[in-house]
Amino acid sequence: MEAQLLKDRVAIVTGASRGLGEGIARAFAREGAAVALFSRNIARLRELERELGEGAVAFQVDVSDAGQVTQAVGEVLERFGRVEILVNNAAIAPSMPFLETPDEVRDSVIEVNIKGVWNCTKAVLPGMIAQKYGKIINISSVTGPMVSGKGVTAYSASKGAVSGFTRSLALEVAEHGINVNAICPGSFDTPMMRSLAKPRGWASEDDYIKELGKEIPLGRLGTIDEMGDLAVFLASDKSKYITGAEIVIDGGNMIQEHKG
């Protein structure tokens, strides 16, 4: 049996109740990490906590609220003594034309997708600096930093900010033995992706997901397990010489000149 890549590590995964965050949390637990699960959906986190076993602990946290984040991170430190891995995954992705986007929707995207990353990183970073070790993984997107689409202006802007945040912070903390990287997913079969079906005119979520997959060179959308595999690599010492990077995981979609 191969050694677990994250054995005895302590990780925080935000937005862990579903989708990519759930996939990452599952992969971390499988590789031996203790995982603090952050989300507003405490009922789903409790279920996941039971599924993952003794090393998983659920925390009801709104990452846009700095006070809640600070309190939860303090509880993680009290329980485990350290945090070595942070995955900033929590995000929202409303889809609507720019001129129809209320300021309240714009602000909610900024609160969760940008301030959430800021709040969680600020809460764990002092401990990482003190222990001279840390892995921070920000879930950005191809949408915003590299490509985009209609109706996701707020989301695109927020993910562009996450990528810029990643590069700058990586430079600041490299001397402390901390790696900061971003994962840029393309299209994955997640509840967030499925929620875009109706706003984009599809009656069936399954049909929408299947149609999206036809345009991708590998012929399908990504799975949350595949996201988990990449996150494990970046959280492990296998990636110790990688920092400030944006790693695309999209089934080859970005390299196409023409799609379909």
Catalytic residue among 133, 155, 208, 241: 155
Reported as type and span, the H/E element at residue 212 is: helix 205-214
On whether the CB atoms of residues 89 and 234 are closer than 8 A, the answer is no
How far, in Å, CA of 248 to CA of 15, rounded? Answer: 20
- Integer angstrom CA distances of residue 153 from 14, 185, 188: 23, 17, 19
pLDDT for residue 1 = 60
Domains in the chain, ordered, with CATH? 10-185+224-249 (3.40.50.720), 187-221 (no CATH)
On whether the CB atoms of residues 7 and 32 are closer than 8 A, the answer is yes
pLDDT averaged over consecutive 10-residue blocks of the chain (260 residues)? 90 97 98 98 97 95 98 98 98 93 97 98 98 98 90 95 98 98 94 83 92 93 96 98 98 83
On whether the CB atoms of residues 10 and 217 are closer than 8 A, the answer is no
Phi and psi based region of residue 19 (left: phi greater than 0; alpha: psi -120 to 50; beta: remaining): left
- DSSP for 144-182, please give it: TTTB--TT-HHHHHHHHHHHHHHHHHHHHHGGGTEEEEE
Give me the helix-helix angle, 116-131 and 153-173, nearest 10°. 10
How far, in Å, CA of 155 to CA of 165, rounded? Answer: 15
**Helix/strand/coil for 86:** strand
Find, among 127, 177, 38, the residue nearest to 28 by Cα: 38
On whether the CB atoms of residues 59 and 38 are closer than 8 A, the answer is yes
How far, in Å, CA of 229 to CA of 189, rounded? Answer: 16
Question: Exposed (0-12), middle (13-18) or buried (19+): which is 13, by Cβ within 10 Å?
Answer: buried
pLDDT for residue 95 = 87
Identify the bridge partners of residue 137 per DSSP, sorted by sequence position: 87, 181
Residue 18 CA, distance from chain mean position: 11
How far, in Å, CA of 96 to CA of 51, rounded? Answer: 36
Q: Which amino acid is at 242?
A: I
155 is catalytic: yes
pLDDT for residue 216 = 94
pLDDT for residue 192 = 79
The distance in angstroms from the start CA to the end CA of the chain is: 42
Q: Which amino acid is at 199?
A: P
